[in-house]
Structure 1
Amino acid sequence: MSIATVNPATGDPVEQFEPHDAAEVERRIAQADAAARALRSTTYGERAAWMRAAADLLEEDLESLARTLTVEMGKPIAQARAEVGKCARNMRFYAENAERFLADEPLEDPGAVGASRAYTRYEPLGVVLAVMPWNYPLWQVIRFAAPALMAGNAGVLKHASNVPQSALYLDTLFERGGFPEGSFRTLLIGSAAVDAVIADPRVKAVTLTGSEPAGRAVAATAGRFVKKAVLELGGSDPFIVMPSADLDAAAATAVRARVANNGQSCIAGKRFLVHADVYDEFARRFAERMSALRVGDPLDETVEVGPLATRSGRDELAELVDDAVSKGARVLAGGRVPDGAGWFYPPTVLAELPDDARLIQEEAFGPVASLYRVADREEAVRIANQTTFGLSSAVWTQDPDEEAWFIRSLDAGAVFVNGMTVSYPELPFGGIKNSGYGRELAAAGIREFANLKTVWRA
């Protein structure tokens, strides 16, 4: 098993790391277990001070850390800086709000249950395992770690094997901020070792962001050992454009929604469902903007789209496009693997997809957009809801009644109106159907890994 940084812009190896053996994994879990017991006796004020200090350290390291993200997985350098900044903001958000989110909640009328006092309180679970992907090497982890640690839990991280430098940075960040030793520990292990960590009695829960097969495997093991799990899996999010929409704003936003992070985002707009009355004009504007994007070295400040993170990811994306084209789909932009080094794929727009194209049901994890012409809002929702995924969605309309109808009708964990899906610390994040279950961020996210304890007093 290879745990290594390979620059996706060149395909060249950068640094390789030895996996942790069983003894080292045991040592790190033991450290996390001891830290979890210590954290239970700390106050929200103490944890908040440590979390703010860790956020300060993150910002001090911004330039070097952003470069690490770009070299490890290929995101444009400006987006890497933005990811670091977003992580620091999330850490401060939970430092500020954790105590309020987890405050005791008294029953207004305790006499109704024969008590003089009755209330609920939130308590930490202990050690929580996070299995995280490579596409947002810091953000995916921090959006779990910040609330988990502020709730008084400890964390252990199994990160993707192609972002080990990011994983090792996170291994020390929280201790540098002042948290007890072992409060957050990285495990350099492969996927085959995850089941044993979930089974460990010191590990009380697990959260995973990743593919549907990975989610099924983790959920099965968690279920076998009766442990709490939160899953954030794939998405094939619809981006719906109705006749009343501001077409220029919709087209410009559609491009950002599709190619942010080189198109490797679970919440990216992937299927663009456009009303027939405005389809031709939207398609023209969208394809022109996609074709005009600058693709190249992600360390170049002017580049808008870098390489895909892995060769296998680039090849799988190309296979999906080739399958659709071979069955009759029309290419409006891109559609061919470029010559040269690195795992690049051009911003691509496909139209007139046949029903048997794999892209109809499978997630395109890269800068490939599928365009659909729809006759009315009913057809738009039928196509939007026909996939097995249900992560997020976007709707463009200026009609208030139409807006309310779409909000009611779309099967998704979120609906964004006249904008693109973005995750915010202040808003719950998660999906339904095969996109997973549970929520991250906001108050819902910190409560996922807390024991809701009922207290009744005579």
Structure 2
Amino acid sequence: MSLLPFLEDVFAKTFHASSTASRKQNCTPASPSSCICRDPYSGEVVFQRPYLSLDDAVEKVLKTQRAFKIWKSVPLGKRIAHIQKGCVYFEDHKAELAKEITKAMGKPLSQSLFEIEAGVSKMKQLCTQAPKALETEFPPSPDEGKTRYEVQRVPKGVIEVIAPWNYPVFTALNGVIPALLSGNAVVLKHETLPAVGEAFEKAFGTFRCASAGAPGSSVGGPTPVEGLVSHLLVNVETSSILAVERDEIKHRVFTGSVGGGRGVMQTVGERAQNTKLTSPFITCSLELGGCDSCYIARDADLETAVPFIVNIGRLHNSGQSCCNVKRLLVHSEVMKEVEAKLCDEFGKTVLGDPSDENTTIGPLYGGKERVRFLWDLLLDAKKKGAKKILVRGEDVTALDLKALRLKVLMASPGSEDAFFAPTIVMFESAPPTSSPSVPRLLQEESFGPLLPVVSVGGDEEAVAIANGTSFALTHSIWTTDSKRARRYVDAIEAGTVMVNWCNDVHPQIVWSGQRRSGNGQGAMGSEGFRVLTYPKSVILHDI
């Protein structure tokens, strides 16, 4: 009798026990019992509800699994019709949902509304892509048709989608919609913006079948099936336990911080040691942070480039985007003109109540801790060679720290440090990556309206600086020379490279990150559907 199964079981139990204990130990303080969301402008509580217990969360997962068993047999055309019906829900409720987003995370109201409208457009676009992405492949026969091959795309099961606060509709739909179109069911963890999680459940969570449970049941019949999308209001610990211990969950989709991504990967590793599961080996899709660069070449159309880079590339959503411009590289020959245009655009910003239609910069999510993190980055840059500091277009380089702080940090009715005034930090050059004198602002992810601008001597230097961080989500170049654009694209290491565009996600192509920005398991595009399905090969011989 072999001892291997016994030893494997002992190792797995020991590993699981120790990793679970470690996870609990790392929850300091202990995972909270209630979800509490505060308006970052007023400080008022806008949502408060107890988290689901583990038992209640398991019941929701089981309900979603039951829905999956029916949904997986629904023809693709009917799935598309269900998604389109859900889009109508978002269109009908966009005004109140936009207000919920603005209250919960401080996004200016017009931008919250835009996110919902653009999100619906992305959902519809994914519906048009699904047939091609999910079609069966027919590799060529080796013997003139006697042996035929098929490679089908079959759904995995229950997909867990974990979405963050900054673009709550965009980041949720990136996983939810391709999962549903592929025949999966979804548990959605939207802890930081529960109103959006509940909206996805209401829009897509229930479908009707002619005969629930019958293979090939058509959508639109008399029998309602609930749980196709279930919003899970659970804390991190409960979510991790579900991922490690529940066989129903077959894939995790996570958008968030690098630290959060490590936690998700850890649970996938822990699950692999759980010998009680039928499917211990699952995959995950990680879209994490970025320190994205944008290069303005010497021949760029500055009249178009600078306003777009500032208002869409950097300051949209108050600078809180994984893929916005966090380092602006400018050819030295056009630096003077670019600086003047940057100051002009930054000077137009309006800070204030995000529900006011005139506001363009809202309070930062995370409150004073986030504001003070940006302040620390600014001080570090000042110590490490910043040539000039411009706050909303005004040169404040000569101010002492107390005066500078009064210019940069601003209060709201609910917090003494709620706003960080849009600030430009100018550098004559960037030190080598290995140098201790490299400002943190040029290496770390700065989530907020703080933009470092670096003068470069040419394309090669721009490429070296762009590739010189541990992040690789997106980079962009602005140029009128197609050959220069192609050389730059080919030299850049990132999930997405944009030419004369930035800070955008197009559903027609795969969205993924490399290095610390993700694990290359993409969302959207054809690849976004494939990672949420299993390939099933069929060999037909002499039939």
TM-score range, shorter chain: over 0.9
CA change 1:370–1:190 in 2 (3 A) is same
Task: Provide the alpha-carbon RMSD of the alignment.
Answer: 1.7
Aligned to 2:420: 345
Q: Structure 1: which amino acid aligns with 2:288? A: L
Residues 184-203 of structure 1: pairs in structure 2 closer than 5 A = 184-199=229-244, 200-203=246-249
Q: Distance in 2 between matches of 1:108 and 1:172?
A: 44
Q: How far apart are residue 111 of structure 1 and its match?
A: 2.5
Mapped pair 1:205 → 2:284: no
Structure 2: distance between partners of 1:448 and 1:419: 27
What's the TM-score, normalizing by structure 1?
A: 0.95
**Distance in 1, Cα, partners of 2:460 & 2:103:** 44
Match of 1:333 among 382, 387, 391: 391
Return the alpha-carbon distance in structure 1 between the equivalents of residues 143 and 343 of structure 2.
65
C-alpha distance in structure 2 between counterparts of 1:96 and 1:371, whole Å: 40
TM-score scaled to structure 2, two decimals? 0.81
| d(CA) in 1 for partners of 2:146, 2:503 | 46
CA contact (8 A) 1:137 1:163 kept: yes
For 2:489, the equivalent position in structure 1 comes to: 407
Shift of 1:37: 1.0
Question: Using a 3 Å threshold, how does the CA distance of structure 1 residues 340 and 97 change in structure 2: closer, same or farther?
Answer: closer
- What is the aligned counterpart of 1:155 among 182, 186, 193? 186
CA contact (8 A) 2:106 2:364 kept: yes
Please say if residues 319 and 448 of structure 2, whose CA atoms lie closer than 8 Å, have aligned partners that are also in contact: yes
SS class of match (2:101)? helix
Three-state SS of the structure 2 residue aligned to 1:272 is strand
Unaligned runs of 5+ in 1: none
Q: Does 1:389 align with 2:471?
A: yes
Counterpart-to-counterpart distance in 2, 1:96 and 1:20: 36
Q: 1:388 to 1:421 in 2, by over 3 A?
A: same
Letter in 2 for 1:446: F
Separation (CA, whole Å) in 2 of partners of 1:313 and 1:123: 43
Letter in structure 2 aligned against 1:228 = T
- 337, 347, 354: which is aligned to 1:281? 337
Q: Does 1:58 align with 2:90?
A: yes
The residue identity in structure 1 corresponding to 2:495 is: G
Distance 1:410 1:337, change over 3 A: same
Say whether residues 1:379 and 2:461 are aligned partners: yes
Q: CA deviation at 1:222?
A: 1.3
- Answer yes or no: is the 8 Å Cα contact 1:129–1:158 preserved in 2: yes
2:350 alignment partner, one of 289, 294, 314: 294
Counterpart AA for 1:300 = D
Q: How many residues align?
A: 456
Instruction: State the one-letter code of the partner of 1:166.
Output: V
Deviations 1:109-153 (A, max 9, x none): 3438x9521021100000011111110111111121111001110
For residues 107-256 of structure 1, what are the structure 2 equivalents within 5 Å?
107-111=139-143, 116-159=147-190, 161-175=191-205, 178=208, 180-199=225-244, 200-224=246-270, 225=272, 226-256=281-311
2-side partners of 1:323 and 1:191: how far apart? Answer: 33
Question: C-alpha distance in 1, partners of 2:266/2:155?
Answer: 23
Structure 1 pair 280–115 and aligned structure 2 pair: CA distance change class (3 A) = farther
Corresponding residue number in structure 1 for 2:373: 316
- Aligned-partner Cα distance in 2 for 1:275–1:141: 38
Does the CA contact (< 8 Å) of 1:206 and 1:229 recur in 2? yes
CA offset at residue 92 of structure 1? Answer: 1.9
Tell me which amino acid in the other structure corresponds to 2:336. Answer: D
**Residue of structure 1 equivalent to 2:448:** 366
Q: What amino acid is aligned across from residue 442 of structure 1 in structure 2?
A: G
Asked if the contact 1:5/1:165 (under 8 Å) is kept, the reply is: no
CA distance in 2, matches of 1:315, 1:193: 31
- Using the TM superposition, give the Cα deviation of residue 15 of structure 1 relative to its aligned residue in structure 2, in angstroms: 2.5
What is the aligned partner in structure 2 of residue 454 from structure 1?
537
Matched with 2:36 is: 4
Task: Quote the residue 1:14 is aligned against.
Answer: 46
Instruction: Summarize deviations over 1:183-225 as a string: whole Å, max 9, x none.
Output: 1111111122222121111111101000001101111221342
Q: Write the letter of the residue equivalent to 1:283.
A: E
- Give the structure with higher Rg (CA): 2
Q: Percent identity?
A: 30
Classify the secondary structure of the residue corresponding to 2:131. Answer: helix
Q: Give SS of 2:419's match.
A: coil
Q: Are 2:471 and 2:516, in contact at CA under 8 Å, matched by a contact in 1?
A: yes
| 1:24-79 CA distance string (max 9 Å, x none) | 10110101111111111111122111111110111000100111111111111111
How far is the alpha carbon of 1:164 from its aligned partner? 1.9
SS at match of 1:5: strand
Q: Give me the whole-angstrom Cα distance separating, in 2, the residues matched to 1:118 and 1:299.
A: 57
1:305 is aligned to 2:361? yes
